[in-house]
A and B are shown apart, each in its own frame.
Chain A
Amino acid sequence: MIQAITEVMDQKLAEDPRVMLLGEDIGVNGGVFRATDGLVEKYGEDRVVDTPLAESGIVGTSIGLAMNGKIPIVEIQFLAFIYPAFEQVVSHAARMRYRSRGQFEVPMVIRTPYGAGIRGPELHSESVESFFAHTPGLKVVVPGSPYDAKGLLVSAIEDRDPVIFLEPTKLYRAFKEEVPEELYRVPLGKAKVVKEGTDLTIFSWGAMLREAVNAASKLEKEKGMSCEVVDLRTLYPLDRDTIIESVKKTGRAVVVHEAHKTAGLGGEVISLINDEALIYLKAPVKRITGFDVPVPMFSVEEDYMPTLERVKRGIEETVNF
């Protein structure tokens, strides 16, 4: 996945002189995950910028850059380190178009690795997508495969609104997939049915997709259950139509996310189902999520996240309700 992401930035830098990369250690170091490896050598320090260590500075100046004709692609080193920039993201990037009644816009992408499962130190494993999905004016995108990473990032860069692009660290080097060399687009706001099924729908995104798909194929083999897996891909705004269509077909659903349960997006998905497909439900929709505790030290992070077993059990309980 990381290669697909690097490729997009490379191609976009080449194609569009307005594109700039900004972030900590993204120059000669190539970023701590090497997403920008080799790019400063190719495009120079004016376009691939090692910034001072100040997230508010990075995002705040990028808002200015974006309003004045640039397309900044910002890298925040880890999602939890975006907090110093929270005000800039929420109070300005998200609201500039609105407040200026369309006179100014902030076309920028904030890329950041996120999620647990890589034995990261404290604060390197958070999944706080809800903060951003609770902010009108932002779009929130999470790729679940290398193919989608490339296509979604292209769409994010071309989008006229600020996009929070969350990259699941666990998937960075998790699997190989052939990705077309040329630029292509995967539309924002569209979920993807990863696997078709008839008994239940699993809604998920990011690193938890693998658990979802594994649970689906295990349950198919072991119990003959047919699970549909939907990768939401864009968390804000949600693809209501795909969600509702799938639930109407299967009549049952679970949401699997590694973010905390309370005020996590699982609740939002359930609300949509409640609004539009309640009468199709044969069982209450279950949330299988990270617990409502700070993401703990990595010695117990496996148990913090929804494990394959927990996902399987949740599905069985819902099917056998």
Chain B
Amino acid sequence: MAMKSSELQKAGSWESEVFQVLNPEGKLLSELGGEIDEELMIKMYENMQFVRAFDRKSVILQRQGRIGTYAPFEGQEASQAGSAMALSDMDWMFPTYRDHAAAMIHGQEMYRVFLYWMAHMDGTTCTEGKKILPPSVPIATQLLHAVGTGWASKLDGDKDVSIAYFGDGASSEGDFHEALNFAGVFKTPTIFFCQNNGYAISVPFEKQSASRTIAQRAAAYDINGVRIDGNDIFAVYLTVKEAVERARRGEGPTLIEAVTFRYGAHTTADDPKKYRNQEEVSKEWRDNRDPLTRLNKFLTENGLWDETKEAELLSKVNAKIDEELKRAENYPKSHALQMFDHVYAETPWHIAEQREELKKYLAKDGDES
């Protein structure tokens, strides 16, 4: 019990310390009790393949210069897809820059995610009617918003819940603690979903905190806290589902620590070889704890999946990604004048004048769009 979580992650002995349903060999450790039927299992697998293909494509697009710096999430698919699948359409979602998989599974259109990484002025919008916020860039700040939206829902007697995504590093920021405390005091229907991928850029979790886990912080605020295998989509789904139900019943917030690993770099601008034995650790996780591999094994052993289905899925997924990419690349380019829109509900004089100034200037120059 005395090991720090990133050591556990390295040592591969952390399974004993986390809630797990489907082990890395693809064996069920407990009954699913009808909560996850065959159709849902297959959907989980398809969703993970879908987001993984998106992620790999994005890394390539960055290399080709078709998008800007990108934050890959490969390795974290079960955490993101599993948690998002446990939500209802009406629920609020507050993702970070790494949580596009969660956002897309919750209904964010992929072309908008591409627009975000293309730095398009519309890249921070979400699918009409959804309550998916633009990715939070300042670490941990969005957690408080998810307390606020949850609080309002509670005051209004609405049944929606709010889920905030964040990383292990985020648990060091003051806003994280303030959010847990507010949520505890006001018993808000908020789910704090932490993907502990062992690193905040280069800093391993054991340097981030002297606490052994993130989940244990819940005790200090007297809210529910759970530590789960973030690469086990069954465990993720069941845990988030339960947290959501509790929140809807008015039983307050839950802090979930999903232990996982990012296979790649922090972003495409990062070189993980600087701070970890990248090839070795990454391979170790891929070979032994991959979220897709284990579900594939389970489905295959239960006669629910085979190579033909896999091939069909991959071609479907790739076609969809190509289509969404085309949509993003054919989307009207950002125009400089868009920067003046939406600063306020009603544009004040000085911004209106500056807009005119730039407009005149661009018209004279022609080449400056």
Contacts and interface: CB of A to CB of B under 8 A. Distances in A.
Main secondary structure on chain B at its contact with chain A?
loop
Interface residues of B, number: 46
Contacts of B339: 291, 293, 296, 300, 303-304
A309 B368 contact: yes
B201 A121 contact: no
B175 A84 contact: yes
Given A81-B138, A297-B119, A25 B203 contact: yes
Contacts of B56: none
A76 B298 CA distance: 46
Interface string B326-369: 00000001111011100100000011001000100110010011
B107 interface: no
A292 B203 contact: no
A313 interface: yes
Main secondary structure on chain A at its contact with chain B?
loop
Given A119-B68, A300-B121, A294 B343 contact: yes
Given A29-B275, A294-B343, A303 B336 contact: yes
A292 B121 contact: no
Given A293-B351, A307-B368, A52 B209 contact: yes
Contacts of B138: 80-81, 83-84, 123
A184 interface: no
Interface in B62-102: 68-69, 97
Contacts of A313: 361
Nearest to B270: A32
A299 B120 contact: yes
Task: Name, among A53, A56, A119, A291, the residue most crowded by chain B CB atoms within 10 Å (CB to CB).
Answer: A53
B282 interface: no
A8 B287 CA distance: 44
Contacts of A24: 200-201, 203
Given A297-B120, A299-B118, A310-B361, A121 B172 contact: no
Contacts of B203: 24-25, 27, 50, 52-53
A225 interface: no
A53 B69 contact: no
Contacts of B172: 52-54, 57
Interface string B189-226: 00000000000111100011100000000000000000
Nearest to A57: B172
Contacts of A122: 124, 137
B59 interface: no
A28 B275 contact: yes
B169 A297 contact: no
Contacts of A120: 69
A303 B123 contact: no
Nearest to B272: A29
Nearest to A294: B343
A76 B358 CA distance: 33
Nearest to B271: A29
Interface in A69-114: 80-81, 83-84
Contacts of B333: 299
Nearest to B175: A84
B174 A56 contact: yes
A204 to B, nearest CB: 19
B207 A84 contact: no
B174 A121 contact: no
A30 interface: yes
A160 interface: no
Contacts of A28: 202, 274-275
B144 to A, nearest CB: 12
Q: List the 5 closest pairs (A to B, CB-CB), nearest first.
A: A29-B202, A303-B336, A52-B172, A53-B169, A297-B119
Given A261-B350, A291-B339, 12 more contacts: A52-B207, A54-B174, A84-B175, A119-B119, A121-B97, A291-B340, A291-B358, A297-B119, A297-B334, A300-B336, A300-B338, A303-B369
14 contacts: A24-B203, A30-B274, A52-B172, A53-B172, A57-B172, A83-B138, A121-B69, A261-B350, A291-B358, A293-B343, A297-B120, A300-B334, A303-B339, A303-B362
Interface of B: 68-69, 97, 118-121, 123-124, 137-139, 169-170, 172-175, 200-203, 207-209, 269-270, 274-275, 333-336, 338-340, 343, 350-351, 354, 358, 361-362, 365, 368-369
